[in-house]
Amino acid sequence: MPHEPSVAVAPAHHRLDGGFQNPWPGETPHGFKDFFKWRFGGNRSTPVPTPPFGSLPQRHPSIVAPRAAAGYRSATWVGHSTVLLQLGSLNVLTDPIWSRRASPFQWIGPARFMPPAVDFDALPEIDVVLLSHDHYDHLDAPTVRRLIERFPHASWLCPLRVGSLLRSFGVQHLVERDWWQTVEAPQFTATCTPAQHFSGRGLGDRGDRLWCGWTIATDGVRVFYAGDTALHPEFGAIASRCGPFDLVVLPIGAYEPRWFMRAVHMDPADAVHAYRALTPAGNRPPCLGVHWGTFRLTDEPVDEPPKLFAREWRDAGLSDASNWTLAHGETRILSPNRAAVDAAR
């Protein structure tokens, strides 16, 4: 008998209409009705006042320009989810935003209460930009335009359907990937990884573009950047398929109220759970906590995330030396772990 032709089955995170969704049961983000219930429902806890502009601790960054030598690896927290990674001669930025507001307009919307801790003109030659999704606090059009004007040859890595948005801003060199797809370049290897979040820049495009995390391997080290995500079941798979890692970058802020934020943002306890899934016993690299202390997006005090994260970290029996919750602008030098070096060979 003739064989029936095989029919390709779309991945569970692909919607039938061409958009995207979280594939895990019960993990659909709340909609606009719940948003208004949170913000204007009358039972919202009064948030602690935002501190004065520039009042959180800051450090002077230590950046090698235009490029570091092979074997030099560092991470500098610019603020929010923007990290400058200097991995040998490769310079990488994650979700860059230098604008005053995380908004389509610079006269309204969430405003910075901490300035970018790295002056834009002090950036080294940027080679790769890792983008996790299309929200304004992670994909900022004015910053994109400034970066492509100054670094026209940089490669932009993004999840599916974000590419057309980047091209509209003027990006020429970009690669789109679905979850678990890789980018093989002469200087690095990157993998697009699952995340639990959502997308949208307006009222009618929710879920039209994919969201993700990224791993990047170069110069004998591997880094995992989780993007913007809630706790989900795939962190162990990310570790087994893409690890072991020398640095894990996880979001630890924007989590209250939990009934509304749990489906899209990790709290410090969730971040520790994710870290343990990403780093099997015997391989405990540094964890850099981001997505806090820059924009007021949710109800928790803006300086609370690192305090709760440190407490959860110690309660889990993890070493304080591996908790890289940095001050704005702080640079830490990264040493490759033996397991990751051996796996990269």
CATH number at residue 335: 3.60.15.10
Compute the average pLDDT of residues 89-108.
94
- What is the per-residue pLDDT across 206-229, written as a single tens digit (0 to 9) for each? 999 999 999 999 999 999 999 999
The residue segments making up the domain with residue 82 are: 62-344
Determine contact, residues 27/21, Cβ cutoff 8 Å: no
Higher pLDDT: 105 or 312? It is: 312
What's the mean pLDDT when you consider all of the chain? Answer: 92
Please indicate, yes or no, if residue 8 is contained in any of the structural domains: no
- What is the per-residue pLDDT across 281-306, written as a single tens digit (0 to 9) for each? 778 999 999 999 999 999 999 999 99
Q: Is 63 a residue whose pLDDT tops 70? A: yes
Compute the average pLDDT of residues 264-287.
94
Please indicate, yes or no, if residue 25 is contained in any of the structural domains: no
Please indicate, yes or no, if residue 21 is contained in any of the structural domains: no
Give 58's pLDDT tier (boundaries 50, 70, 90).
very high
Nearest to 114 by CA among 306, 302, 340: 302
- What is the per-residue pLDDT across 304-339, written as a single tens digit (0 to 9) for each? 999 999 999 999 999 999 999 999 999 999 987 644
- Please give the order of strands across the beta sheet that includes 128-130: 174-177, 155-159, 128-130, 90-94, 82-87, 73-79, 331-333
Q: What is the DSSP string of 75-143?
A: EEEEETTEEEEEETTEEEEES---SSBSSSSSSSSPBBSS--SS-GGG-----EEE-----TTTS-HHH
Please indicate, yes or no, if residue 31 is contained in any of the structural domains: no
Please indicate, yes or no, if residue 142 is contained in any of the structural domains: yes
Q: How many domains does the chain have?
A: 1
Please indicate, yes or no, if residue 24 is contained in any of the structural domains: no
Please indicate, yes or no, if residue 150 is contained in any of the structural domains: yes
Please indicate, yes or no, if residue 289 is contained in any of the structural domains: yes
